[in-house]
Copies of this chain bind each other. A is one copy, B any other.
Amino acid sequence: MMKDSVIIYSGGLDSTTLLYEEHPRIALAVTFDYGSNHANREIACARHHCSSLGIEHLVIELGFMSRHFSSSLFSGADAIPDGNYAEENMKSTVVPFRNGIMLSIACGLAESRGLKRVLIANHGGDHAIYPDCRPGFVSAMDRAMKAGTYDGVQLAAPYTNLTKADIVRRGTALGIDYGMTYSCYRGGERHCGTCGTCIERREAFSEAGIPDPTVYDCLNA
């Protein structure tokens, strides 16, 4: 199969699943390091899976984000709110237009290397809080990328209408070791279990009826 795709790859649960599902077409995985609390642990997981699959892995630093953008993701573990993802207090963790920025850079990289497709693993559970994960954004961004490149680079976001539980089911069927993925916004050695991403992760395994291999601090105190 032709390797024609770049994937935006954080090392978290969703994008790791997409990496394994699409790996025969993936020429390049890009992790964006925007100085968040959890960047180093995510990057270590991303390196592991790319190395396992023999996929080239690039880490691109976006230092300007933590310097000039406002988000509690840049402010240390104590600034991260507890609670469900959909709640108003989780808005403090939003990095404005993050998917737009990551997709644009990945699109430029794709065009630089003659690749035709950019993959991103946003899913339906993200819609409540992140405007740049919703179907309207995805289709407009796909048009912008096609119109703005010589080769008409496409955007593929195959999880846009799936739940995180759907993703866990698909990845488990592929044999992915989710113990080697990292999501927690607090960025500690173990997942905290109480921030928005940890709650979402726990609910996804529970809803999928699949044992959760993650070690959570709040369950081991």
Interface residues of A (CB under 8 A from B): 58, 60-65, 68-70, 95-101, 103-105, 107-112, 131-132, 134, 136-137, 140-141, 143-150, 153
Contacts of A149 in B (CB 8 A): 96-97, 131-132
**B residues less than 8 Å from A131 (CB atoms):** 147-150
Which one of A100, A101, A136 has the greatest number of beta carbons of chain B within 10 Å? A100
Copies of this polypeptide in the complex: 2
Nearest-CB residue, chain B, relative to A109: B68
Interchain CB contact under 8 A, B134 and A111: no
- Residues of B near A148 (CB, < 8 A) are 97, 99-100, 131-132, 134, 137, 140-141
Sorted nearest first, the 10 A-B pairs with minimum C-beta distance are: A96-B111, A132-B148, A140-B143, A97-B108, A140-B144, A136-B147, A137-B147, A100-B104, A137-B148, A96-B108
What residue in chain B is nearest A62 (Cβ atoms)?
B64
Most buried by B among A103, A104, A137: A104
- State whether A108 touches B112 (Cβ < 8 A): no
Which residues does chain B contribute within 8 Å of A68, judged by CB atoms?
58, 60, 109, 112
Which of B63, B97, B134 is in CB contact (< 8 Å) with A104?
B97
